[in-house]
Chain A
Amino acid sequence: MSQSTNVFGAIGDAQEREEGIDREEFTPGIEPQATWCPGCGDFGVLKALKGAMPEVGRTPEEVLLVTGIGCSGKLSSYFDSYGFHSIHGRALPVARAAKLANPGLEVIAAGGDGDGYGIGGNHFTHTARENHDMTYIVFNNEIFGLTKGQTSPTSPKGHESKTQPHGSAKDPVRPLSMALSAGASYVARTAAVNPQQATEILAEAIEHDGFAHVDFLTQCPTWNKDAKQYVPYTDVQQSEEYDFDVHDRREAARMMHETEDALYEGTVLTGRYFVEEGRRSYGAEKAATGEAPETPLAERYFDPDYEWERSYDLLDRHR
């Protein structure tokens, strides 16, 4: 990273702190009380994310949290950092470009299951494939909440709602398998009912150098299941019943498939499913091929000594 850290004074700030980082720094003075329904799983994401920040050593102003639309999209209202509350399905392209523009930022994207696996599915596939160094939290509540209870991409087959009055004839999407086959280098599932695991997984995901996808089971007590229905949950790493290697793509794929099926049979499996170490993130890959600068592009615009290239110097080919 370049020397001109005084341009973005917040970046790297945490490293100079002796007292560490307090999770409460991420509680905003504006709207500290979220508008989510009582018992909503979204509170669990907020809590886990705040809890992960001291672990990863980032202060509010070096974090850019980009959210989509829906109840989940309001995460950026209740988490005090730089925020970008974008539009439905488009959090990922906004977020990944910000990371390319300024790799010094800690970029986190978040949205619901409709946002990420439905309307934004194309972006999910390609952002995972490109392996951008960022974290994507998908609030998976198996329902469209804010629009009042319609069937979502993760709703089970047969799910009845106002828009599927005879029950959905569609099998639900397989979020973990999708992330794996698309090319994500870290894939996990956690649940709001398990705050400790959730905090640990989010911290790992943020620290992972590459695209980290966390499918976060968030109960929607108003339109779908309440918290009790996600209990008991099993951590596949802790349980002796499950034995697989998270570094092995085939074993991970098999375990993901089993986990995705189990959810609809009433068994809640969570944990780390795939971790690919040593693969270069997209930004690093692009810089290595000569397609991206070595120093953060965003710093250049504040550098009074930079000599900007001119089209005048490209004219020989036109003479």
Chain B
Amino acid sequence: MTDDELIWRIAGGSGDGIDSTSQNFAKALMRTGLDVFTHRHYPSRIRGGHTFVEVRAAGHPVKSRGDGYNFLLALGDSFARNPQDEAYYGNEEAKPLTENLDDLREGGVIVYDTGLLDEGDVDDLEERAAEEGWHVYPLDLRGLAREHGSEVMRNTAGVGATAALLGMDTGVFEELMDERMSGDVLATNVEILEMAHEEVSGMEHTHALQLPEGTHEDAADSPVLLSGSNAVAYGALDAGCRFIAGYPMTPWTDVFTIMSQNLPEMGGISEQVEDEIAAASLAIGASHAGVKAMSGSSGGGFALMSEPLGMAEMTETPIVLVEAMRAGPSTGMPTKPEQADLEHVLYTSQGDSNRVVFAPGTVREAYEQTRAAFEMAYEYHLPAIVVIDQKLSGEVAVIPDEFFDREPDPGLGAVLTEAELDEAAHHASGVFDRYRHDPESGVSPRSIPGQAGGRFLASGNEHTPQGHIAEDPDNRVAQMDRRARKLASVRAELDGRETSHQTPYGPEDAEYGILTWGSQQGTAEEAVDRLNDDGHSVKALGVSDLMPYPSAEVAAFLESVEECLVVEMNATAQFRGLTGKELGQYGEHLSSLLKYNGDPFEPAEVVEGFESIVGDADADGDASGESTRIVPAVGD
């Protein structure tokens, strides 16, 4: 835990504008030169229900949510169903205050809106504040907003109060408002911001917390603030994707929406269709006709894509699918993160899997690996899946804009032109040999309908080189083996690249390891820093390539450490299982730290988990934490 950081939590009800206020607050902090990271927590409801966003900011890199937080802006839930204490779910109106106190650090700051909340809502606020050293500032934000404009502008008053308490002036916020508002709305909001700032500046301040100092290099020069979903969408656009088909489902909807808002202006096509079976099938149809296409969903919708996924594998039609995981099984917890769809994504659909699966660990990787997914899909004629989750989907990070200043890649991959088709092998009947047995890489280049000399049959049935249905055993084995060779080629190509999708972190010669996949990468890295500061010797490896599995890299990492903790957000240690299956050893060196309560790991939980099992030779029995679970290594 560091003292030179701000973790500002804005809490209210769904529909109270918490998300947009937090985005602007994060942007303002980015403009002051700080690194920023956000964490969203919200219920599956349109109106009401306790929701919060944390904005973590520091002059040094922040890669994860923090441990708890140090500044609460509690607005009160203005859409609460039951503003009574005796209600089944408790007094919802007061939850933005009451529900957040447990995570607030010692010495933290509380601002709450007395327009909706009063001291009596929390039984022992004064007592707890004294005990924890909290600094409490009750302010009538709603009243102030009403007086100068309208009640709904109380978020602006809250931001003004926050700025005053952190020793910031209002300039950066006014600049942001000026960019997105105009006329009376702008004038009124600026007035409310300034009034709140002035009023709070004139109060006596008892707390020490101020805006962190310093400048992070990523925020120094033309930074942009964007989410994992944005990064996936932008990676797709830069890969030349101009067709998307989808059906709404949280959290996948974010990617679908961003694509749909941008594609028409780029002469692309977005289709919202009847179900996810159709969505993935449309992507296949568009790709077959010569367009770079994608689809995607979250767990339940992705389950419907099992069929078309297999069809893409068998017909060797390139497509990119996004799977934005949320807590399952079934409808599960729609707005909560989990990493429990790993096995689903790897193996769903009948027959042997023949797909590429990437799970980016950060917002930057989400962009890079989405581009790579298109490259692999179109070069190797198979489906490539980008797995994200509710956490990565919604979190925002600061990235220098030059990161995006690069060439687009609209190449269609292994496709022949008509001139090339003229020279290519054909059956005596004139049908193009679309699925030849012999390519060493496994890739037999394709033609596109409408090209002269390219006609062939794509079929979900096993087929001859021309695509005709065939159950001949020799042909079957030749086609199965060729399709399998494509995955080996993908692995060889990825292994031969300068930059790996796997991200090592920490001292190379460390004694212990933390292995993680997908969105837990940043949290694991923060834990590694703290553990090493505390005298441990630890490094981490964040794995993104899940199929084909990066065996050499992971084996080298595991070979170099005594023991390793595998950190993932699911209940059955799916990634540890995959690693054991792929490597066939190291079982006795791998223990698991699991979390599946709907909240992502805090770095401290990883530190604690590590200390209780891996770093401690005497550890025995169940060392699970309050919301985490330890599964010891096999035979331990």
Interface residues of A (CB under 8 A from B): 6-11, 13, 28-31, 60-62, 64, 66, 69, 74, 76-77, 80-87, 90, 93-102, 104-105, 122-123, 125-126, 286, 290-293, 297-298, 300-302, 306, 308-312, 314-315, 318-319
Contact = CB atoms under 8 A, between A and B. Distances in A.
Ranked nearest first, the 10 interchain pairs of A and B with the lowest CB-CB distance are A29-B429, A97-B285, A8-B450, A311-B234, A9-B452, A93-B281, A101-B289, A298-B290, A97-B282, A318-B224
Contacts of A60: 455
Interface residues of B, number: 82
B277 interface: yes
Contact of B238 (A74, A90, A311): A311
Contacts of B405: 312
A82 B449 contact: yes
B223 A293 contact: no
Given A28-B429, A97-B283, A297-B242, A105 B453 contact: no
Given A8-B448, A101-B290, A301-B240, A90 B268 contact: no
A124 to B, nearest CB: 10
B532 interface: no
Nearest to B311: A87
Contacts of A319: 27, 222-225, 401
B507 interface: no
22 contacts: A6-B418, A7-B450, A9-B451, A30-B431, A61-B453, A66-B285, A82-B454, A84-B288, A84-B458, A85-B467, A87-B460, A93-B277, A93-B278, A96-B282, A97-B281, A97-B284, A105-B449, A293-B267, A300-B242, A309-B408, A311-B233, A311-B238
A42 B243 CA distance: 35
B277 A318 contact: no
B450 to A, nearest CB: 3
A86 B286 contact: no
B457 to A, nearest CB: 4
Given A100-B286, A319-B224, A286 B269 contact: yes
Contact of B267 (A7, A126, A297, A310): A297
Given A77-B469, A98-B288, A30 B429 contact: yes
B412 interface: yes
Interface of B: 27, 222-226, 230, 233-235, 237-238, 240, 242-243, 245, 262, 264-271, 273-275, 277-279, 281-286, 288-293, 307-308, 310-311, 315, 401, 404-406, 408, 410-412, 417-418, 427-431, 448-461, 464, 466-469
A30 B455 contact: no
A85 B460 contact: yes
Contacts of B452: 8-10, 13, 61
Contacts of A66: 285
A93 B431 contact: no
Contact of B450 (A84, A102, A297): A102
Contacts of A105: 289, 449-450
A312 B401 contact: yes
B286 A101 contact: yes
B315 A29 contact: no
Contacts of B458: 83-85
